[in-house]
Amino acid sequence: MKAGCLHRWYHRLAACLLACALPCAWATECIVPAKPGGGMDASCKLLRRVMQSEAGQQDFKVAYLPGGIGAVAWSSVVSQRRGGPETLVAFSGGSLLSLAQGKYGRADVGDVRWVAGIGIDHGMIAVRGDAPWHNLKQLLEAIRKNPSAVTVGLSGTVGSQDWLKMALLAQHAGFTPRQFRFVALEGGGDSFAALQAGHVQVISGDTSEAAYFMADGKVRILAVLSEQRLPGPLHSVPTAREQGYDVVWPIIRGFYMSAHASQEDYRRWVQYFDRALADPAFDRQRSMGGLQPFAMTGKPLSDYIAQTVARYRRQSQELGLVR
């Protein structure tokens, strides 16, 4: 066998062996519990890019199951109407907040298997590129003076994470959270579509959703809700803290799967993510998607989720958002 042919043969063999190590590598489904275009959609597409680049996997399906800001997808997986050992569901910090506030019904963190946390997103506030506001102070002053003149688009309703971001900023700006006018939408994709169509003047969303829309100048990001400025395409956007509003909102992104899947299938997925998250290639894909480093899988992630949901529940009760 010639050297070139031998090299190609070894390359194909290595790809095949890697594919065999992936959980159900040739029939993966990633459920986005929202409409296309938001942060959870981006999580599934990030995973698709990683798996396809690793082993040339082509049979990777991204399925959309919107409704109730994740409630429909959760119920479908818990009840076994959807989901199996080859299916992952994207989740975010907003999913955990909804779970804590009882928006998924009589649900518990143990109803699913938490597979992997793959990155940290952050909240942001955006307006149209032709909007009259060029910083956060100008926007919040306009809302304070005439709340009915500015409509904010956000995922979910009162108590959702997008609502809470605006509520915290409102408090710092000197008006009550329930004064601002908002429209409840189903995911970040809907929010940006409503903003570009002029149905809302502001959106409270996430940075991973924003970078794509900044490129053509149609969207202006007024603030990121992070500890410090973010690297990448949003590096020029000031934080809310820099502008005098001490509001920080990190958002975990990751995947869960059905609790009805076997322990073996769950362990295989956890082992896959342990390997993938340690690979610099994954970090490059994560950065391209606007996410900051975070890697946690299996039991440590499950414990982290339980603690986070408990904290969100306490905070929501203090704000009168949970009975």
pLDDT at 22: 54
Chain mean position to CA 41: 8
Query: How many other C-beta atoms lie within 10 A of the C-beta of residue 110?
Result: 11
User: pLDDT tens across 306-320, in order?
Assistant: 999 999 999 888 878
Range name among 11-20, 125-134, 169-178, 277-286 with the lowest pLDDT average: 11-20
* Distance from C-alpha of 169 to C-alpha of 177, rounded to nearest angstrom: 8
* Distance from C-alpha of 251 to C-alpha of 226, rounded to nearest angstrom: 10
Q: How confident is the model at residue 54 (pLDDT cuts 50, 70, 90)?
A: confident
Residue 278: pLDDT over 50: yes
* Distance from C-alpha of 183 to C-alpha of 155, rounded to nearest angstrom: 8
pLDDT at 23: 52
Average pLDDT over residues 40-46: 93
More confident site: 233 or 46: 46
Q: How confident is the model at residue 289 (pLDDT cuts 50, 70, 90)?
A: confident
Q: How confident is the model at residue 24 (pLDDT cuts 50, 70, 90)?
A: very low
pLDDT at 58: 64
Average pLDDT, the chain: 87
Q: How confident is the model at residue 120 (pLDDT cuts 50, 70, 90)?
A: very high
Burial category of 122 from C-beta neighbours within 10 Å (exposed 0-12, middle 13-18, buried 19 and up) = buried
pLDDT at 69: 81
More confident site: 74 or 3: 74
pLDDT at 101: 92
Residues 183/195, Cβ–Cβ less than 8 Å: no
Q: DSSP readout, 83-122?
A: --TTEEEEEEHHHHHHHHTTTTSS--GGGEEEEEEEEEEE
User: pLDDT tens across 207-239, in order?
Assistant: 988 766 776 778 999 999 999 999 888 899 999
User: pLDDT tens across 131-147, in order?
Assistant: 999 999 999 999 999 99
* pTM exceeds 0.95 for this model: no
Q: How confident is the model at residue 55 (pLDDT cuts 50, 70, 90)?
A: low
pLDDT at 6: 39
Tokens for 275? 């390997």
